Structure 1
């Protein structure tokens, strides 16, 4: 396996993300970066980013959640952010991403976890939750889910084809296209920082093909995960946005099916796909409502 590592110098100019990275060796070849802020003995809030972002996506949320008395852990998925990046698409799979994050959760011995997830952060994070449910307290879910087959929405099919065939794959432009507010030049640079050139983008390129629509190889794993979720009574708050063409309305697959969604203050947030950029305060409010139950 050829493994690429973005040099620290690529992140040196980022001024709005003051959190120091920590590192965990998830395999002998691969090192995962993560942020770990707040008291070690506090309840954990695990913030999972998606495609093609990194923990920088949560920069407006980490501080307020830590200030509310929680420990925030925000990993960079393998292939993203400060984490190592296998150069070959064949070195990635959905199952590997789940295993890598589970290794981090178990190594840090995280418990009382409120899972905060969006996009691929949902697909990976929720699968980890269903594999070790006793470690988790609840879920704040926005603009994501856990597909288990079925047809892919048109907007997603277009995105999947773009990620596979487009000769230009500018990460910051992709994130900006899923956000309602404009980015500053510094924010654009921060989203591009993990990817010095196209050789670093194999993980970002391949991710859309892993989403288990249609007859994807991961569908059986998803169905087993849903067997856990269909019995999940711990709190789940859905906080999807009103302006995401891919996941809008996705809360209907959860509310009423997952027992933990009953009598929860489900909320519609204002913004696009990357709601952490458009409505971080609204998302934080939902996170704290989940995390605070039974505290």
Structure 2
């Protein structure tokens, strides 16, 4: 049995963190969803997911409320989406969009301090 958990080192600088890290016993059945994810990313125009993708873009292209984006510097999956989102979503214009450094696909887990700081700076 393996344990899936966030390393304690991720919580060292969060003295007031409201709860202890959660430990979860996992087996291979927990990997079924993750194994399916790559097939959900539309690559070709006739992939089933492209219709849903286009619907989302139609909504985002009209979204004018403040919309701050924070992308990591080390995620090859989302890296290609940064420029189109910043260009096509009106709410991103004039916002302090960020790059979270030394992070991958889950910047909120890998660099929580940078993510929280980005949010707090919106309220200054």
User: Same fold by TM (over 0.5)?
Assistant: yes
Q: What pairs with 1:157-176 in structure 2 (closer than 5 Å)?
A: none
8 Å CA contact 1:240, 1:248 repeated in 2 = yes
Separation of aligned partners in 1, 2:88 and 2:79 = 17
Q: Who is 2:40 aligned against?
A: 210
Instruction: Quote the offset at 1:279 in angstroms.
Output: 2.2
Relative to structure 1, the CA distance from residue 204 to residue 14 in structure 2 (aligned partners, 3 Å threshold; closer, same or farther) is closer
Q: Who is 2:83 aligned against?
A: 252
Separation of aligned partners in 1, 2:6 and 2:80 = 35
Separation of aligned partners in 2, 1:14 and 1:253 = 31
8 Å CA contact 1:242, 1:269 repeated in 2 = yes
Separation of aligned partners in 1, 2:75 and 2:64 = 28
Q: What pairs with 1:1-295 in structure 2 (closer than 5 Å)?
A: 190=23, 193-195=24-26, 197-214=27-44, 215-273=46-104, 274-290=106-122, 292=123
TM superposition score normalised by structure 1: 0.33
Instruction: Quote the offset at 1:194 in angstroms.
Output: 4.7
Q: Which has the higher strand share?
A: 1
Separation of aligned partners in 1, 2:59 and 2:82 = 18
Relative to structure 1, the CA distance from residue 239 to residue 253 in structure 2 (aligned partners, 3 Å threshold; closer, same or farther) is same
Q: Which blocks of at least 5 consecutive residues in structure 1 are unaligned?
A: 1-9, 17-56, 67-186
RMSD, matched Cα: 3.6
Which consecutive segments of 4 or more residues in structure 1 shift more than 4 A? 13-16
Relative to structure 1, the CA distance from residue 270 to residue 218 in structure 2 (aligned partners, 3 Å threshold; closer, same or farther) is same
Separation of aligned partners in 2, 1:278 and 1:261 = 24
**SS of equivalent to 2:91:** helix
Q: Which blocks of at least 5 consecutive residues in structure 2 are unaligned?
A: none
Q: What's the CA shift string for 1:201-236, capped at 9, x where partnerless?
A: 221211221122223212111111211111101111
Relative to structure 1, the CA distance from residue 209 to residue 249 in structure 2 (aligned partners, 3 Å threshold; closer, same or farther) is closer
Aligned length: 115
